[in-house]
Structure 1
Amino acid sequence: MQLDAVVLFFVAGLIAGVLKVRIPFPTSLYQSLTLFLLLAIGLKGGAALAEHADARIIVQSLLVISFGAVLPLLAFPLLRHIGGLDRTNAAAIAAHYGSVSVATYAVAVAVLDASGVSYEAYFPLFVVLLEIPAIIVGLLLAKGLSAGIANRELAHETLLSPGIVVMVGGLLIGAFSGDTLTKVSPFFMELFQGVLALFLLKMGLITTEQLGALKQDGPFLAAFGVFMPLLAGTLGGLLAHGLGLSVGGITLLAVLGASASYIAVPAAMRVALPQANATLSMAASLGITFPFNVLAGIPLYLLLAQWLQGSGISG
């Protein structure tokens, strides 16, 4: 059986972490790889957006934003009433699962490209749009309608987090640079797979570090970390099918729904809900959901997309 080389880099990182192998991986390199991926995804999406922008994308974008707001509302009662977590931690974790993982999206794109499955090229726009709604809903779930949404520090962390700014910047550059984008395309597009492979090697190492935090609430969070992406991924796939997207597009929206944030949301929650146990959120999203999606979820969402397209279910 042939496995994707990019995914195998993540597996290698996991194995090294479990065996406690000390692989020198400077923090600055990890940050540089993250910056590269965010910019590359934004540039590609911006170029596609300039080429395909129309009223249909606006409608799709509004529905995707609504989807992002609904997901934490589904996750919260599971965490609160079944998992027995307090309101603050349940809301914080729910916000993570309403937002998205750029790394999971990047892996899904790599898998689709390797499989020759086409998709709507403006999908990076949806990645950006799905970062914010869940943070707002999570805050409302934790503090009610009196939550300090107008808090300037929170607004800065939510709307001007480095990940969002870099990706939006990439989108704008790609959308307005026209043919001059070819000057930087060899660097950002042709090196994308290699950079993603290195990034996933580091992610495998980080994932093993998070597993130790699952000792107390481990059984429930492990189950939630698998069930929630399957539920959200299915809903994302159904929404994409209803929007008339391609097999690749259905797969990617399912992946975005199924993924959980570990960059933008933790930064916002640190400001909005400092009393929340950030370790629980990171252990669930990065220790359970990320590896599940990379190793098993993405192929499942692709199968779902193929089934929806071939099942005759009306969109």
Structure 2
Amino acid sequence: MGETLAIAISNLTSPMVLFFALGLAAALARSDLALPEAVAKALALYLMLAIGFKGGVGVAAHGLDARLIATLLAGAVLSAVIPLVAFAYLSFVSRLPRADRAAVAGHYGSISIVTLVAATETVRSLGLDYEGYLVAVAAVMETPAILTALWLASRGRDPDRASDDDADSGSLFREIALNGSIVVLVGAFVIGFVTGEKGLADISAFIVDPFKGILCLFLLDMGVIAGRGLRAGYRSLTPAVIGFGLTMPLIGAAIAAPTAWAIGLSAGGTALLVTLAASASYIAVPAAMRVALPEARPAIYLTLSLGVTFPFNLTVGIPLYAAIGQYLSG
């Protein structure tokens, strides 16, 4: 318990969390602080490139084996199942329309790559080993949650509307698969796998040294977006719905932890898989929901994932998930 508290305090005083808090406070105070959209997009692409490339290098060093395949399959199953749990939970504690509940559920089955990055930094600071292929697992966990969310939403639609949606499903799935963040993440992973340690050494000055500073700038912008979402959507966020945003990560973590233990992941790898299951998307899934469920309200699903769950994971969740990884690995 004492070690977990020490990790939490260290996380709370890290530059990453403090820059997020600065952006959040600035938005709540109605400051005009903002990053140009093109700059914010470039920062996000940089983070995807860096984490994907380093993950590919890690897999090249580790080699392909049964544990890697088992972890990929586990990630896909977790991504498909967690939205079902989230939907049932949200249905029990709120009266939100079905489309809103389905959209929120999809966010919690998918993942936040920036939460994974922050957890990776924490795991690394603790000196814990972890499997580099967890980046590939993150990519695998994007799409199943979206498909589950669309299925949940379609169950409450009339047959004519459902048939129209089926006609558009091919283009939607193509758009999901070709989402810029996923393309860069998977592509950089493949390049890192092909080039290995030599490739990492060649561009380390670009993707290793500046990484933390760029992450701080990105989190500053995320704080601003989260603060604005809280200001705009607070009327729709009842205490029960906010409670969902704070407790659903713990439920996801509780589902993933025994899975990671059964696979035999390292302490760091367990912490990262648990983090993925506990995180909530705010990039890929919102883009898909805007196309597939236009009736769902971003003021609810985006504010919950970015304004409630994301800061919870940064401050409380990640230290807890690291402690879970250490405990399960003996």
Q: When the two structures are superposed, what TM-score results if normalisation uses the length of structure 1? A: 0.93
Displaced runs of 4+ in structure 1, greater than 4 A? none
Q: What's the secondary structure of 2:329's corresponding residue? A: helix
Partner letter of residue 89 of structure 2? L
Question: Is 1:283 matched with 2:303?
Answer: yes
Partner of 2:201: 182
Partner of 2:214: 195
Partner of 1:204: 223
Distance, in Å, in 1 between the alignment partners of 2:189 and 2:60 is: 9
Question: Is 1:170 matched with 2:196?
Answer: no
Partner of 2:99: 88
Alpha-carbon contact 1:118-1:248 (below 8 Å) kept:
yes
Distance, in Å, in 2 between the alignment partners of 1:14 and 1:24 is: 11
Match for residue 154 of structure 1 among 156, 161, 172: 172
Moved more, 43-52 or 289-298: 43-52
Deviations 1:181-239 (A, max 9, x none): 43222201221111111111111111111112021333122100011001101222221
Q: What's the secondary structure of 1:266's corresponding residue? A: helix
Distance, in Å, in 2 between the alignment partners of 1:200 and 1:190 is: 17
Alpha-carbon contact 1:236-1:257 (below 8 Å) kept:
yes
Match for residue 107 of structure 1 among 118, 126, 133: 118
Distance, in Å, in 1 between the alignment partners of 2:167 and 2:275 is: 28
User: Residues 79 and 173 (structure 1 numbering): CA distance in 2 closer, same or farther, change over 3 Å?
Assistant: same
Alpha-carbon contact 1:101-1:256 (below 8 Å) kept:
yes
Deviations 1:134-169 (A, max 9, x none): 001111111149662862321122111111111011
Q: What's the secondary structure of 1:177's corresponding residue? A: helix
1:46: Cα distance to partner? 1.1
Distance, in Å, in 1 between the alignment partners of 2:298 and 2:218 is: 22
Q: What's the secondary structure of 1:22's corresponding residue? A: coil
Alpha-carbon contact 1:149-1:155 (below 8 Å) kept:
no
Q: What's the secondary structure of 2:80's corresponding residue? A: helix
Q: What's the secondary structure of 1:108's corresponding residue? A: helix
Partner of 1:132: 143
Unaligned runs of 5+ in 1: 311-315
Among all aligned residue pairs of Structure 1 and Structure 2, give the percentage whose two residues are the same amino acid. 42
Partner letter of residue 286 of structure 1? L
Q: When the two structures are superposed, what TM-score results if normalisation uses the length of structure 2? A: 0.89
Match for residue 75 of structure 2 among 38, 43, 64: 64
Match for residue 293 of structure 1 among 285, 297, 313: 313
Alpha-carbon contact 1:104-1:259 (below 8 Å) kept:
yes
Alpha-carbon contact 2:107-2:285 (below 8 Å) kept:
yes
Partner of 2:19: 9
Alpha-carbon contact 1:157-1:267 (below 8 Å) kept:
no
Question: Is 1:303 matched with 2:314?
Answer: no
Partner of 1:34: 44
Alpha-carbon contact 1:50-1:176 (below 8 Å) kept:
yes
Partner letter of residue 218 of structure 2? F
Distance, in Å, in 2 between the alignment partners of 1:74 and 1:211 is: 25
User: Residues 245 and 15 (structure 1 numbering): CA distance in 2 closer, same or farther, change over 3 Å?
Assistant: same
Question: Is 1:237 matched with 2:257?
Answer: yes
1:29: Cα distance to partner? 1.6
Match for residue 237 of structure 2 among 193, 217, 227: 217
Distance, in Å, in 1 between the alignment partners of 2:296 and 2:216 is: 32
Distance, in Å, in 2 between the alignment partners of 1:225 and 1:269 is: 18
1:16: Cα distance to partner? 2.4
Partner letter of residue 248 of structure 1? G
Partner of 2:127: 116
Unaligned runs of 5+ in 2: 1-8, 156-161
Alpha-carbon contact 2:111-2:280 (below 8 Å) kept:
yes
1:109: Cα distance to partner? 1.0
User: Residues 16 and 182 (structure 1 numbering): CA distance in 2 closer, same or farther, change over 3 Å?
Assistant: same
Moved more, 140-149 or 57-66: 140-149
Distance, in Å, in 2 between the alignment partners of 1:232 and 1:214 is: 24
